[in-house]
Amino acid sequence: MKLLNKSLLLVMAVVLLAGCASHKHVAYFQNSNEVDLSKSQYLYDARIMPKDQLTITVSTTDDEAAVPFNLTVPTPYTANQRSTYSQAMLQTYLVDNEGNINYPVIGQIHVGGLTKSECEKMIQEKIRPFMAAAENPIVTVRMTGYQISVIGEVARPGTFTVSREKISILEALAQAGDLTIYGQRKNVQLIREDASGQKSIHTFDLTDADIINSPYFYLQQNDVVYVTPNKVKAQNSSVGSMTTLWFSATSILISLTSLLYNILKK
């Protein structure tokens, strides 16, 4: 009885220690009361990158003055097995590898590396000479097709389209359903390609609240977030494969033994 009680106590101690260890590996922002967040007091504004798609709207008091700068394209759709066109939509402008777009009337404009507001001001200055002196055009730039990918140990890996020009790594993980219990909180990797095509990899530790001060806290167009699996997942995968192999081998051995027994019995 004493031996049994000691065994039970030992098992309980192991379970409690495992619980403490797992909490340290799972909880986010464990040192939040020690981190200085004053450096994060700024408003992030995404910069235009190659392969971004932009919509540009020009508004003026004289509607006719804005027409040349608001190109539209018809949107095709199928009805009764016949192709037709719906109401026109604004033209989108694809940023090329050099960071340029071809804009009506003005021609080629370099927008790569600019924020949305910087791009709006630049286009406003470039179109002003084509309008009446009293006209003050309002330019609105929007990024469309802003996508990021989240893969690895998350509940719903995939590529997500962002409806606004600002998303943090935490918001991206939330869209993917958060990390699974097998994801390494201390080894979340960000794969990024800059305007020149140079790739870089940056590592996040989600248990450290200082992640909020990271220059990579907010994601860019086409960023890939990868959550690496922990050792438990790798071991489970290995055990699962070995278990399947052992069951198959055992089944074959039993079948052969039964066959030999029946043959010898005769």
User: Residue 77: left (phi > 0), alpha (psi -120 to 50), or beta?
Assistant: beta
Question: Do residues 145 and 162 make contact, with C-beta atoms less than 8 angstroms apart?
Answer: no
Residue 61 has pLDDT above 80, yes or no: yes
- How much is the mean pLDDT over the chain? 80
Q: How far apart, in whole angstroms, are the C-alpha atoms of residue 251 and residue 259?
A: 12
Q: How far apart, in whole angstroms, are the C-alpha atoms of residue 106 and residue 150?
A: 39
Residue 145 has pLDDT above 80, yes or no: no
Give the percent of the chain with pLDDT over 90. Answer: 45
What is the phi/psi pair of residue 150, to 5°?
A: -130, 120
What pLDDT sits at residue 104?
93
Q: How far apart, in whole angstroms, are the C-alpha atoms of residue 181 and residue 65?
A: 58
Mean pLDDT calculated for residue range 42-46: 77
The structure tokens listed for 57 are: 């709207």
What pLDDT sits at residue 219?
92
What pLDDT sits at residue 196?
79
Residue 76 has pLDDT above 70, yes or no: no
Strands 199-204 and 183-193: antiparallel
pLDDT band at residue 85 under the 50/70/90 scheme: low
Residue 73 has pLDDT above 90, yes or no: no
Residue 259 has pLDDT above 80, yes or no: no
Which among 173, 134, 136 has a CA at the least distance from the CA of 155?
Answer: 173
Task: Please name each of the domains of the chain with its CATH number.
Answer: 47-74+86-144 (3.30.1950.10), 147-234 (3.10.560.10)
pLDDT band at residue 8 under the 50/70/90 scheme: very low
The per-residue pLDDT for range 86-134, each reduced to its tens digit, is 567 888 999 999 999 999 999 999 999 999 999 999 999 999 999 998 8
Q: What is the distance, to the nearest Å, from the Cα of residue 119 to the centroid of all Cα atoms in its chain?
A: 25
Report field, pTM of the whole predicted structure over 0.95: no
The structure tokens listed for 96 are: 């090329």
The per-residue pLDDT for range 221-249, each reduced to its tens digit, is 889 999 999 877 555 554 444 555 555 66
**Side-chain half-sphere exposure of 175, counting CA atoms within 13 A:** 18
What pLDDT sits at residue 86?
58
